[in-house]
């Protein structure tokens, strides 16, 4: 007599179930959510890299004003947005790596509307080639008073008492304008004396 051995067969529903479970398992491992606190939005990693958290960048830029905001954003992007890790890296003396040229995040320095394409606001001032708008002498139209070194009249005590706080808005504005001009010119004289 022939012995009958039970044959196990795999049917189509079992194959489909294994394939479906495998597909979802692989998809779950490859696409883990970045942060569970934001259920409505899950941007891709490239979008997260281009839109850094401005509050973290501002916090680090306040602590370390010598650092470029783009460099801070790059380090935050690399370490997953960890402010303590970036702070520790700066304080340990290792410094921050320069971001690649192709990485251009959309960040703006405080007081700017849009980021400059190739330069930061700090690098323009360090180069010494500042814009003419940054020159206080030009901004307040004091070119005529700059030429005479030390020839500006020093206000007497009577004029100083006269320039005390007034209830008239126009008088206060004029007094403040004169004080501002005197401060700018005094700073200019000190700078020229220091350079000479």
pLDDT, one tens digit per residue, over 10-48 is 799 999 999 999 999 998 888 865 554 444 444 444 444
pLDDT, one tens digit per residue, over 68-107 is 888 888 898 888 888 899 888 888 888 888 888 887 877 7
CA nearest neighbour of 191 among 149, 154, 163: 149
The answer to whether 145 and 151 are in contact (CB under 8 A) is no
119 and 140 part of one domain: no
How far is the C-alpha of 10 from the C-alpha of 14, rounded, in Å? 7
98 and 63 part of one domain: yes
Helix-helix angle 69-78:83-91, to 10 degrees: 120
> Do the domain assignments include residue 98?
yes
138 and 86 part of one domain: no
> Do the domain assignments include residue 154?
yes
């Amino acid at each position: 007599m022939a012995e009958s051995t039970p044959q196990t067969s795999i049917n189509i529903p079992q194959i489909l179930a294994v394939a479906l479970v495998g597909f979802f398992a692989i998809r779950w491992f490859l696409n883990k959510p970045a942060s569970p606190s934001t259920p409505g939005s899950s941007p891709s990693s490239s979008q997260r890299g281009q839109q850094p958290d401005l509050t973290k960048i501002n916090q680090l830029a306040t602590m370390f004003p010598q650092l470029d905001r783009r460099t801070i954003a790059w380090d935050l992007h690399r370490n997953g947005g960890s402010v303590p890790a970036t702070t520790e890296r700066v304080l340990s003396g290792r410094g921050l790596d320069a971001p690649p040229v192709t990485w251009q995040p959309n960040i703006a320095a405080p007081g700017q509307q849009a980021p400059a394409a190739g330069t930061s606001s700090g690098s323009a001032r360090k180069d010494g080639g500042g814009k003419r708008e940054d020159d206080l002498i030009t901004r307040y139209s004091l070119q005529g008073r700059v030429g005479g070194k030390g020839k500006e009249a020093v206000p007497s005590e009577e004029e100083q008492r006269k320039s005390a706080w007034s209830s008239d808005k126009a008088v206060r504005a004029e007094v403040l304008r004169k004080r501002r001009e005197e401060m700018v010119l005094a700073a200019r004289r000190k700078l020229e004396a220091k350079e000479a």
